[in-house]
Each structure stands twice: as structure tokens, then as C-alpha cells.
């Protein structure tokens, strides 16, 4: 029994010790992201934006005279209790002044972080998360979404696809999406949008992540000869393997990868071979040529730091951190959560592209100053061709008909 008591004592002591008390002259900021598991890649991209913002603020003297300190938390694969634990750890234990996340749980995060008042920024892009918010807007007033929901992003994709200076040879479309809430939201919305416009969705397929053999699907596609193929898989490898197998004998179709065009691996692996593919990035800063000097400076700095063009989420989380810091500064106290949240809601934030505002659901809807940026791969890199809303061709960009369409 002596051993057991010893064991129990050690455990209790270790549990109680906890991490050392924080220095009083820093403001802790919580950053729960996927650091291990299947979603690590996206977690990485979000972190880049957050870190860039925090470093900038600290270099300029900090927030309200104090340096910001990043407290990371591993959301792993967003199991319910892990998300909840993250909230309890960051907000309850570490007493952070704000929380910045990327993908955060698609609804689970609203429940978890809604128990606190700490300003919480996420990039769920999920209607489910908004539905949870609507159940109790007062309690969830601290939850801020950084991108529009999948449904709206899908509508944006549809508008741009219809606005392209290209004449579709027929009105047949093929939609392929993943089986998670994002894929289903986008897939469903696109399907109904197409049908409304008199198109025929000749094939709608839901695939699991990890699908790398596209033989059967491509066979069908080659039989259908659709004018447009839309794949909605927010992960690099499936898109790359699809395209490689598709291009062996391509159909005369516009290939739209939706959000799936944004993971850097896609252009890095396919290079100029991917020229012609279109896709989108929500809450984006168009590039590689930015709309204004401030934006260009930001892109150049990012590229200097990370050696590649901006992936999805980086500008969104950067702007989120800046917006929060700005609100905290205006209120004068980073810990007056109610005031900071109210300020954000009322005043929004003046970002690189103008004033952005959160709507009544605390969602940063696609708007002129935080548009959905639509890209086409040109010369082996993502080039902005449209912004939406409103659906506008971007500066002097050109849409190039993919080389596989004769």
C-alpha cells in the first residue's frame, strides 16, 4: 500500500502544481489548433497568420504596453471533450484575454467557448455553428466567425462559375464532395443552384477522405462529358491524385476545386500542370498582386517570412487578431470582455481592404472588405481572377481557358 499511496501523492502533487504562474506583464492569448492528427496542415496555416500578427503587435510595443504571449493548445481531431477541455484550459485555467483558432469544432466550439466571455475567433465556415449561435445570441456573444458559412461560399463559387467569360458547351455538371459537414453543405448548395439555373447535375458523389483511386468515378465522368466538374475536398492529396488521373484523358470540362485549391501542396506538386484549375478562398486578400499598397506590403512580408504565397486562413486569422487588439486598445482594457465584444460588434475593423463588419450572427460574411477571392492557377501559382461579392473580375486579371479544353 505504501507504493500506491506514494503514487497517489505524486499524481496529486503533479496535478496541483500546474504550470508556473504567468508573468504579470504579459497578456496571454489562447491558440487552440490541430497540432497532431489529420488536420495538422490547416492548423499550420492558421498559425502562420496568428503568429505574424502577434509578433507585429509585440514589435510595436505590445498591446496596452504589455507583450502578448501565445498559449497553444492541441485540438487534435476535435473530439467533443478535447474541444471542451481546450476552452476550460485556455479560458478557465490560463485566463487568456482572447482565443484565436482556425477550424475549431464546427459547432462544438460555440458550445465550449460560449460558456465564457472571452472573445473567441474561429474559421469554421459552418452553418451548424451559426445555428448553435442563434439558439442563444446573448450567451454566445463572444463567438466570432472569421469566414462565411459553407452555404454562402458555395453560392459565391456558383456566381463566379457562371460569370466566367467562357461559354459552357452543355449544361451538365458533376459534383464530388467529402462526407463531412463542409463538403455536404457546399455540395448540396451547388446542386440546388445548378438545378435552379436549368443545369443537370449528372453525377453527385460523396467520398470519404483518403480517396486516392478515382478510376471508377473518372470512367463515369468521361462518359458524361460534363461542362463543369466541381470537387469539394478541403485536403491536398485527394485533389492532386484526382487531377493527375483526370489529366491522363481529360474531358472538356472546367475543373473547379473550391476551397481545395488553397492547400499549398496542390500548386507545389502540380506546378504549371495545374494551370487552368479554379478555386476559392474565403475572407481572402487577393494576390499575388494585392489590391493596394498596404495589402501588397502584407503579402510581401508573409512571403518573406514563410517563402510561399498565402494559403487559406492566414489573412483571416491575422485580421482577427488585429481586430481584437484594436478593440482592446479602444476599450482600454483587454480583460473587459463584454466591452471588447460589444466594440467588435459595433465597429468592426478597418483592415487592408477597408472596413469589415460582423453581422448579427457574429459572422464575417463575405463582403467587399473581406471578399471571397476566386483564383485560377496560372504559371504554376494561384492568381486572383475574381472577388465576390459583388462578383467582379479582379483588376486586370484574365481568365484563361484551360489547355485541356480544345
Partner 1 sequence: MSMKRMLTIMTVAYGAMALMPLFVGDIRFIMHILIMCLIWAVVASCWDVIMGFAGIFSFGQVAFFVIGAYASAILAVNFGVPSVLAIVLAGLLTAGMGVLVGLPCLKLAGPYVALVTFGVHMTLMPLLRGDIGKAIGSGGSVGILTIPPVNIFGFTFSSANLVPTFYLALVMTVACSLIIVVVIKSYWGTAFLALKDSEDFAVSLGVSAFKYKLMVFALTSFLTGIVGAFYGHYIGMISTRMLELDLFCTLMVMLVMGGIGHYPGAILGAIITVTANELLSPLGSYRAVTMGALVVILVLALPNGVMGFWNKPESAVQEG
Partner 2 sequence: MAISEDTLFLIYEIIDVIISGLTNGSVYALMAVGLTLVYGVTKAFNFAYGSFFNLGGYFAWILINFVGLVGGYFSIFLAVIPLMFVVGYGLEKTMVAPLRKRDEWEMKVMMLTLGLALFMDNLYAVVFGGRVKSLPPILEGTLEIGNLIFSYQDIMIFFLSITGILLFGWMLNNTRIGMAVQAVAQNPQGAKIVGIPKNRIFAATFAISTAMVGFGGILLSQKYFISPMSGGAIMIKSWVITAFGGMGSIRGGLVAAFIIGMLEAFVGWTFGMSYGMIALFVLLLTTLAIRPQGLMGRG
Q: Where on the chain is the footprint of partner 1 (CB under 8 A)? A: 1, 3-5, 7-8, 11-12, 14-16, 19, 35-38, 72-74, 76-81, 84-85, 88-89, 92-93, 106-108, 111, 115, 126, 128, 132, 135, 179-181, 184, 206, 208
- Beta strands (DSSP E) in 197-246 are 200-207, 228-232
CB of 73 to partner 1, least distance (A): 7
Site for partner 2 in 247-286 (CB under 8 A): 248-249, 264-265, 269
Of 8 and 297, the one with the shorter C-beta distance to partner 1 is: 8
Torsion angle of the four alpha carbons 64, 68, 71, 75, in this order, in degrees rounded to the nearest 10: 80
Interacting partner of 115 out of partner 1, partner 2, none (Cβ under 5 to 8 A depending on kind): partner 1
CB of 220 to partner 2, least distance (A): 7
CB of 47 to partner 2, least distance (A): 11
Q: Pick the stretch among 4-12, 89-97, 201-209, 315-323 that binds partner 2 (CB under 8 A).
A: 201-209
Phi/psi for 99 (5° steps) reads -125, 130
- What are the angstrom distances between the C-alpha of 223 and each of 136, 226, 255? 49, 9, 16
CB of 176 to partner 1, least distance (A): 16
Among 18, 65, 165, 215, the residue binding partner 2 under the rule CB under 8 A is 215
Max CA pair span of the chain: 82
Among 25, 81, 135, 179, the residue binding partner 2 under the rule CB under 8 A is 179
Interacting partner of 237 out of partner 1, partner 2, none (Cβ under 5 to 8 A depending on kind): partner 2
Distance (Å, rounded) from C-alpha 118 to C-alpha 114?
Answer: 8
CB of 210 to partner 2, least distance (A): 6
By CB under 8 A, tell whether 67 contacts partner 2.
Answer: no
CB of 175 to partner 1, least distance (A): 17
* Distance spanning both ends of the chain, measured CA to CA: 81
The answer to whether 146 touches 365, Cβ cutoff 8 Å, is: no
C-alpha cell at 153: 461560399
Say what angle helices 40-59 and 314-331 make with each other, to 10 degrees: 40
Distance (Å, rounded) from C-alpha 334 to C-alpha 244?
Answer: 50
By CB under 8 A, tell whether 210 contacts partner 2.
Answer: yes
- What are the angstrom distances between the C-alpha of 23 and each of 16, 20, 26, 69, 103? 19, 9, 6, 10, 30
CB of 230 to partner 2, least distance (A): 16
Distance (Å, rounded) from C-alpha 190 to C-alpha 257?
Answer: 13
Q: Pick the stretch among 30-38, 111-119, 297-305, 319-327 that binds partner 2 (CB under 8 A).
A: 30-38
Q: Pick the stretch among 93-101, 214-222, 301-309, 330-338 that binds partner 2 (CB under 8 A).
A: 214-222
The answer to whether 116 touches 143, Cβ cutoff 8 Å, is: no
The answer to whether 281 touches 259, Cβ cutoff 8 Å, is: yes
Interacting partner of 333 out of partner 1, partner 2, none (Cβ under 5 to 8 A depending on kind): none
Site size with partner 2, rule: CB under 8 A = 32
Among 217, 316, 363, 372, the residue binding partner 2 under the rule CB under 8 A is 217
Distance (Å, rounded) from C-alpha 229 to C-alpha 240?
Answer: 15
Amino acid at each position: 500500500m505504501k507504493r500506491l499511496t506514494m503514487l497517489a501523492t505524486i499524481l496529486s502533487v503533479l496535478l496541483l502544481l500546474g504550470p508556473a504562474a504567468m508573468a504579470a506583464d504579459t497578456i496571454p492569448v489562447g491558440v487552440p489548433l490541430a497540432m497532431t492528427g489529420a488536420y495538422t496542415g490547416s492548423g499550420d496555416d492558421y498559425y502562420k497568420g496568428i503568429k505574424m500578427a502577434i509578433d507585429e503587435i509585440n514589435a510595436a510595443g505590445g498591446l496596452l504596453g504589455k507583450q502578448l504571449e501565445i498559449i497553444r493548445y492541441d485540438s487534435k481531431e476535435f473530439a467533443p471533450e478535447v474541444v471542451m477541455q481546450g476552452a476550460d484550459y485556455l479560458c478557465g485555467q490560463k485566463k487568456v484575454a482572447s482565443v484565436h483558432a482556425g477550424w475549431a469544432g464546427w459547432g462544438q466550439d460555440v458550445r465550449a467557448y460560449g460558456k465564457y466571455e472571452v472573445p473567441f475567433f474561429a474559421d469554421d465556415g459552418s452553418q451548424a455553428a451559426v445555428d448553435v449561435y442563434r439558439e442563444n445570441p446573448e450567451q454566445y456573444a463572444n463567438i466570432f466567425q472569421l469566414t462565411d458559412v459553407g452555404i454562402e461560399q458555395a453560392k459565391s463559387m456558383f456566381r463566379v462559375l457562371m460569370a466566367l467569360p467562357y461559354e459552357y458547351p452543355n449544361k451538365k455538371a458533376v459534383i464530388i464532395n467529402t462526407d463531412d459537414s463542409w463538403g455536404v453543405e457546399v455540395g448540396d448548395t451547388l446542386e440546388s443552384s445548378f438545378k435552379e439555373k436549368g443545369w443537370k447535375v449528372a453525377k453527385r458523389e460523396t467520398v470519404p477522405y483518403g480517396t486516392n483511386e478515382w478510376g471508377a468515378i473518372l470512367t463515369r465522368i468521361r462518359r458524361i462529358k460534363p461542362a463543369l466538374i466541381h470537387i469539394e475536398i478541403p485536403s491536398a492529396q485527394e485533389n492532386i491524385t484526382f487531377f493527375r488521373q483526370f489529366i491522363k484523358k481529360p474531358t472538356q470540362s472546367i475543373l473547379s476545386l473550391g476551397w481545395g485549391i488553397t492547400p499549398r501542396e496542390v500548386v507545389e506538386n502540380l506546378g504549371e500542370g495545374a494551370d487552368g484549375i479554379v478555386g476559392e478562398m474565403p475572407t481572402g486578400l487577393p494576390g499575388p498582386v494585392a489590391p493596394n499598397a498596404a495589402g501588397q506590403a502584407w503579402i510581401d512580408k508573409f512571403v518573406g517570412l514563410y517563402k510561399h504565397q498565402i494559403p487559406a486562413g492566414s489573412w483571416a486569422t491575422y485580421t482577427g487578431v488585429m481586430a481584437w487588439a484594436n478593440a482592446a486598445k479602444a476599450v482600454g482594457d483587454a480583460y473587459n470582455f463584454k466591452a471588447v465584444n460589444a466594440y467588435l460588434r459595433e465597429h468592426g475593423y478597418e483592415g487592408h481592404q477597408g472596413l469589415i463588419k460582423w453581422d448579427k450572427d457574429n459572422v464575417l460574411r463575405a463582403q467587399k472588405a473581406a471578399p471571397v477571392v476566386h483564383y485560377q492557377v496560372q504559371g504554376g501559382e494561384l492568381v486572383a481572377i475574381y472577388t465576390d461579392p459583388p462578383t467582379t473580375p479582379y483588376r486586370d486579371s484574365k481568365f484563361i481557358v484551360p489547355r485541356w479544353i480544345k
